[in-house]
Amino acid sequence: MIQGKLGTLIGRSSGYIESLPAPVKKRLTGLKGLQSEYSKLELKFQEEILELEKKYLEKYRPLYTRRAEIINGVSEPKEDELEAGRIVEQENEESSAESVKNDDEAVSAGSDVKGVPEFWLSAMKNLISIASLITPKDEEVLRHLLDIRLAYLDVPGFKIEFEFAENEFFTDKVLTKSYFYQQQAGYGGDFIYDHAEGQEIQWKEGKDLTVKIETKRQRNKSTQSHSRFTNLDTNQTRIVKRSVPLDSFFNFFKPPVPRKDDAEVDEDEEDADELDERLELDYNIGEDIKEKLIPRAIDWYTGAALEYEEIDDEDLPVDYEDEFSEDDDEDEDEDEDDEDDEQSGKPKAEPAGISFHDNSV
């Protein structure tokens, strides 16, 4: 109750500013003028950062193209690329000297494998914000994913492109989603997310993963009424079909629509909060793909990027939750053992660590 009352006071004047002498108020007006000049410079700063991001995306593009060639089996890594990769592996202690010596044997053993199978699916399942969206049925489609690319729009914003090989689910070769910023910067000078626009997927008949068609037999009401008067039981029925939404990663291409401030909105506060949460989640997923997945795809594929993530238990996919829950149970057991050890004078056992470097697929 107190919190609610305090909330109504936010932004309301306490009367202090109004009570200041006129010369002080004049100085405050001048300070506001300086602040407005700062805001203009801050907006210019953000615009130049955006232009710099566009410039460097063009520098990254040849690397991304080369990455796609290796992933999809178009070509093999060159010797200089392999050497640079071995240095990284040795620095990160991901590969022993013995395994480096046996590269040729490993290549000959897997010569029938083309590229890196399920590369993007594996990487996406290690990025927790995306993994929670992927269903087992989605995986069948995402195995056909050839590349994920970033492009900037002519207006402030960016576009994500998902390129697919031919598959049994939809006819589109590329699925896109665009994120738009507001033309006017926010209070801190940053661009503010405005809305997203997805793409209508051209699903093949019966293959839409975002809906389920339910059928139900229904007695014809007019026939029932007629049969009462004629003593006839025709048992005529009709088939009623309806679409039921399903959870799917591909709902990502049908983003939530923000409310219009000037429109009459007939919804309660809970519904409004839910929409805001959906909008925020949708934008954060887009930012994760743009800032994390695309630039460092190999680290998400191997799981190495998880070392640098702040992980909340509530955000973990099911397989990670199971891993943590087992460890939590072990920790509880260890805590009980520690209490016994303290009483008995025995040394405490060190808990086992958790490694995220395994490929999740």
CATH of the domain at 199: 3.30.1120.90
User: CA 208, CA 248: separation in Å to the nearest integer?
Assistant: 10
Other Cβ atoms within 10 Å of 292 Cβ, number = 19
User: CA 313, CA 324: separation in Å to the nearest integer?
Assistant: 8
- Both 126 and 217 in one domain: the answer is no
* Within-domain flag for 306: yes
Q: 3-class DSSP state for residue 320?
A: helix
- Both 300 and 238 in one domain: the answer is no
Q: Which among 228, 226, 282 has a CA at the least distance from the CA of 258?
A: 282
Per-residue pLDDT, 322: 46
Per-residue pLDDT, 2: 62
- Which residue range forms the structural domain that includes residue 150? 119-203+247-327
Do 69 and 75 touch, CB atoms closer than 8 A? Answer: yes
Per-residue pLDDT, 350: 36
Residue type, 336: E
Per-residue pLDDT, 78: 95
Helix (H) or strand (E) holding 281: helix 269-288
The alpha carbon of 14 is separated from its chain's Cα centroid by a whole number of angstroms, namely 43
- Both 183 and 284 in one domain: the answer is yes
Mean pLDDT by 10 residues, the chain (361 residues): 59 82 94 91 89 96 97 95 93 58 55 90 95 96 97 94 97 97 73 92 95 79 52 65 90 90 57 88 95 96 88 52 46 50 43 38 38
* Within-domain flag for 106: no
Q: Which among 144, 130, 182 has a CA at the least distance from the CA of 292?
A: 130
Total number of domains constituting the chain: 2
Q: Which among 68, 16, 290 has a CA at the least distance from the CA of 160?
A: 290
Per-residue pLDDT, 312: 61
What are the backbone dihedrals phi and psi of residue 149, each rounded to the nearest 5 degrees, phi first?
Answer: -125, 160
- Both 153 and 229 in one domain: the answer is no
Q: DSSP code of 13?
A: -
211-219 and 237-245 beta bridge pairing: antiparallel
User: CA 126, CA 301: separation in Å to the nearest integer?
Assistant: 7
Q: Read off the tokens for 109.
A: 């053993």
Do 354 and 327 touch, CB atoms closer than 8 A? Answer: yes
